[in-house]
Structure 1
């Protein structure tokens, strides 16, 4: 059993990959209850994620409830449309752009930590891990700082359920939960639509204006494409980094020797971030749909089947990672799959890594004795497709 799972008594079914005695499963199997083909293992994950022609990201054709958010949603598109849309914002996430953004990230970090500097403790997520990336991505998009609370409330509500989706068994509870999630998503897209219309008459130097003015093959993007694209960037642009920062602190608290090692040698902070991403990846599962019959790990999967690639088990594949259940902040190489692979490799991965490194160095600098509050209990995200903490009380000694 992993230290983290044992310490916080993580649900053995939800976090089965954390329990060493169960071993990380490898292979392909169909869950008869959900109708989803679960894919485990590093090589299998690579085969799925690196082949968009066979394994499509357009899951909307099997999950029609989400169809209104599919047009322009970069996470739901395949090449060539995905490639064209991705290119529109790639410059904002280039090494040069991220380097220019770094002073602003430092300033946000300093402001947030100054607010809690004189407190004996604080909620790491609410006071730091969430507001840092949401501020960065909303500023890039052009969302006013005064509206961050609105976005936070809608995203929190979206992720408050279990979302244990099934193509086979549907009940009133699942239908109600889906309706609730879609309602929160509409709040965000309706909000972005208002900003979009404003940018049409009052352009600014932000990503939303760039999308309004962009053309692909001589044609402007539709309103739905812009709104859904911006929505995907907004949500994905902060949820992963929030989880990363919280999980890194959680892991260091569970592994005090690792904490001492990194504090004594800050050159390990980059590899610490990578090991946190491997050990407790923010994304639990990445979904794809088969375009044709395909054989995967000796198993035949028919067309129009929903395939779930489980990132945590790929990251614990013993054929790729030595001692996969050991948290090693100096692990190298570390070919984890927390940011995916292939054409859908997270466009904001470099920004998330930079934010994570800056955040952890700042926490080390300001709070040499920071640890998880022994009198408090972390609250973990409830969605099976996301890993991380929604609340993490810490104390400063």
Structure 2
């Protein structure tokens, strides 16, 4: 992997891409005031035990580091909710991502892919992220939600402001030293919340056959969801509904560029595309880390973590744990089994994983049809996201 790091100038903060890691699977970071977990079996345990490792991480964040309630709320933010509320909310949208619903989207995904590539070729150059990897999943999820896909420049502006910052989380640094980062995050959040709140209010007046209407009309225990929960649920779907696929597509093309022999194999055998995507997810895990908060004292990886501690679970590093994956730094689509954790595990397993996989499979198949070979442009370097917890490219110019 060292050659790939140098070739694509991958930032140092993506430490799991910079070769084998030494050290224990669980470590305390006194400077950040949190625990880091790197090992596969340890992460497997975390994701399998939501009672001990809670998703409600805000409860262990010091008050001085929390934004004002009127500016920022995680009510209805399904990634931050524990059972039993989590299960009730998840059921509200699970029917929108059934196997049949997702499969029925394939013709639309294929048509969009061709349209976007036609437009890029008319301009004479393909920059994968701007021309395909970003707009494709955004249009799909926007159409499902029922918001105008023509607003995707706005969505990108908000997503970039929220996720593409080289910000380091710390519970130990004084709040005043982190206030600038907090304010930079609150602005796009408030803009996005206002945008979706307006669409949700319109659905109350004029319901449609879309996911946003379903959220507005949904009931939990006989009561409608509060407006704030509807908006936060919509934010999760809009952001998570495209960012993972954007990174997945870029990362998979990057793998095929770095390993041309594997590109030749998948070009000759398109049935292996799903395996290529799964190995890309393992090697370049899009969401490389997630947070959990301990509800009790627990032993993990040979150390004792006290109650009420923030734990960063590094999926990107766990997916390269040699205890689980032989030769973990090798891109091997034939890896079997390949139980990577890129989409999480357990009750919080990514709801949109089937859609992301379908978009990746359809788009990659069409790319292989239309571009032979798929190669990055040496005159225009790849631009990696600086965000430590996300693995993906912001720009990927192709020849």
TM-score by length of 2: 0.95
Q: 1:227 aligns with which of 213, 231, 239?
A: 231
* d(CA) in 2 for partners of 1:346, 1:173: 34
The residue aligned with 1:249 is: 253
Q: 1:346 aligns with which of 345, 350, 353?
A: 350
User: Does the 8 A contact of 1:262 with 1:329 survive in 2?
Assistant: no
Q: 1:133 aligns with which of 117, 137, 142?
A: 137
Deviation sequence 1:217-244 (CA, Å, 0-9, x none) = 1011000010001101111110000000
User: Does the 8 A contact of 1:133 with 1:238 survive in 2?
Assistant: yes
Could you tell which deviates more after superposition, 243-252 or 109-118? 109-118
Q: 1:57 aligns with which of 38, 55, 58?
A: 55
Work out whether 1:175 is the aligned partner of 2:174. no
Unaligned residue ranges in structure 1 (runs of 5+): none
Partner of 1:69: helix, strand, or coil? coil
The residue aligned with 1:377 is: 381
Deviation sequence 1:120-169 (CA, Å, 0-9, x none) = 42210001000000111111111112322211111112223112010001
Q: 2:392 aligns with which of 369, 388, 391?
A: 388
User: Does the 8 A contact of 1:56 with 1:288 survive in 2?
Assistant: yes
The residue aligned with 1:193 is: 197
Work out whether 1:102 is the aligned partner of 2:106. yes
The residue aligned with 2:17 is: 18
Q: 1:50 to 1:382 in 2, by over 3 A?
A: same
Deviation sequence 1:195-214 (CA, Å, 0-9, x none) = 01100010000001001111
Offset of 1:24 from its aligned partner? 6.2
The residue aligned with 2:94 is: 90
Work out whether 1:158 is the aligned partner of 2:159. no
Unaligned residue ranges in structure 2 (runs of 5+): none
The residue aligned with 2:4 is: 4
Offset of 1:119 from its aligned partner? 4.7
User: Does the 8 A contact of 2:16 with 2:316 survive in 1?
Assistant: yes
TM-score by length of 1: 0.96
Offset of 1:62 from its aligned partner? 2.7
* d(CA) in 1 for partners of 2:49, 2:373: 46
Offset of 1:171 from its aligned partner? 6.5
Offset of 1:85 from its aligned partner? 0.5
User: Does the 8 A contact of 2:138 with 2:149 survive in 1?
Assistant: no
* d(CA) in 2 for partners of 1:99, 1:298: 44
* d(CA) in 1 for partners of 2:53, 2:164: 29
Partner of 2:28: helix, strand, or coil? strand
Partner of 1:193: helix, strand, or coil? helix
